[in-house]
Amino acid sequence: MAHFCGTLTGNHAIVTRGGTPSSGMVTVCASRKGAIRCSAYIEEGVDYVCIEKILWLGRGEHKLLYDGPIGEIQEEQTEVFGGRDSRSK
């Protein structure tokens, strides 16, 4: 049974994939100017996520945006996520 769940929506139907405690889950969302990689994993029984900007096709930059518990963003990390609110699409 999946511990982590991810969905993908593009120009076709929505697809869902799962990750187990041992496999974790890694997703990448990319453009021609770079990409974002999210890695979900478990450490000492706690669910964590690592969110990074990464190179894609030789473009972009590598920068750690967040690495910590899922659902518990520390206050010092909130300015990193200060962009467009994804709920206001």
Q: Give domain status of residue 15, yes or no.
A: no
Q: How many domains, the chain?
A: 1
Q: Give domain status of residue 8, yes or no.
A: no
Angstrom distance (rounded) from CA 36 to CA 19: 18
Q: Give domain status of residue 6, yes or no.
A: no
pLDDT digits over 35-88, tens only?
A: 999 999 999 999 999 999 999 999 999 999 999 999 765 555 555 554 444 444
Q: Give domain status of residue 35, yes or no.
A: yes
Domain region containing 55? 22-81
Q: What percent of the chain has pLDDT over 90?
A: 73
pLDDT of the residue at 71 = 79
Q: Give domain status of residue 86, yes or no.
A: no
pLDDT digits over 2-35, tens only?
A: 999 999 998 989 999 999 999 999 999 999 999 9
What is the phi-psi region of residue 44: left when phi exceeds 0, alpha when psi lies from -120 to 50, beta otherwise?
left
